[in-house]
Amino acid sequence: MLYLTDLRTGAIFIYNNDPHQVVYSEHSKQGRGGAIMRTRLLNLLNGALFEHTFKGNESYEEAEIERKKAQFLYKDTSGFNFMDSKTFEQFSLNQTQIGSKHNFLKEDIEVEILSFNGQPININLPIKMDFKVTYTEPGFKGNTQSATTKPAKIETGAEIQVPLFIKIGDIIKIDTRTGKYIERA
């Protein structure tokens, strides 16, 4: 069982009969009142993101999530297709299950599959990944005083903000949790 203080970022628990993951949490205690936990929850079955405030000393059932490695194969009209690395079983997840993580899926990459009651429901990407810049506007010489950025398109089609010195063809490292540029690879 999970209690109020256990509902920290990353915790996965059962809420309204569905597995939910805490994306953001903020604990506060106000005067004589009881403690509260403001959270942003992600429904792992349908990808819905919403805010909820938990109060007091209630307890919540921890979701039994199975984690295993799989390889991303390709995307088609039915969704995103993966193959279990040990059993070679193939399965697919749809856009709502994966959410914005599809921006960083490259063919043949190994991901962590989250399964609930034997059904794959979501994925975890490696935290840092390398991508090739396919398009960006040229930077301006001498404009290094401030940390200005420009949009760049990467090989998966996603658009992110990068520093002005990045050119087409550069390999960059991206934090897949936030979608932000980290460094040139």
Q: What is the pLDDT of residues 59-87, one digit of tens each?
A: 889 889 899 999 999 999 888 999 998 88
Return the bridge partners of 129, or none: 174
Domain check: are 102 and 134 in the same one?
Answer: no
User: Which region, left, alpha or beta, applies to residue 88 given φ > 0 means left and ψ of -120 to 50 means alpha?
Assistant: left
Domain check: are 75 and 54 in the same one?
Answer: no
Give the residue among 75, 38, 77, 35 at the shortest CA–CA distance from 56: 35
Domain check: are 34 and 53 in the same one?
Answer: yes
Which of the pair, 128 or 96, is modelled with greater confidence?
Answer: 128
Residue 143: pLDDT over 60: no
Q: What is the pLDDT of residues 101-120, one digit of tens each?
A: 889 999 899 999 988 888 88
Domain check: are 120 and 161 in the same one?
Answer: no
- Residue 146: pLDDT band by 50, 70, 90 thresholds? low
Domain check: are 140 and 171 in the same one?
Answer: yes
Where residue 168 sits, what CATH number does that domain have?
2.40.50.140
Q: How many domains does the chain have?
A: 3
Residue 104 dihedral angles phi and psi, to the nearest 5°: -120, 15
Domain check: are 16 and 46 in the same one?
Answer: yes
Length of the chain equals: 185
Residue type, 84: D
Domain check: are 53 and 73 in the same one?
Answer: no
Q: What is the mean pLDDT of residues 169-184?
A: 91
Q: What is the extent of the structural domain holding 171? A: 128-184
Q: What is the pLDDT of residues 34-62, one digit of tens each?
A: 788 889 998 888 778 899 988 877 788 98
List, edge to edge, every strand of the sheet that includes 180-184. 159-163, 149-154, 128-136, 171-175, 180-184
Q: So what's the pLDDT on residue 3?
A: 83
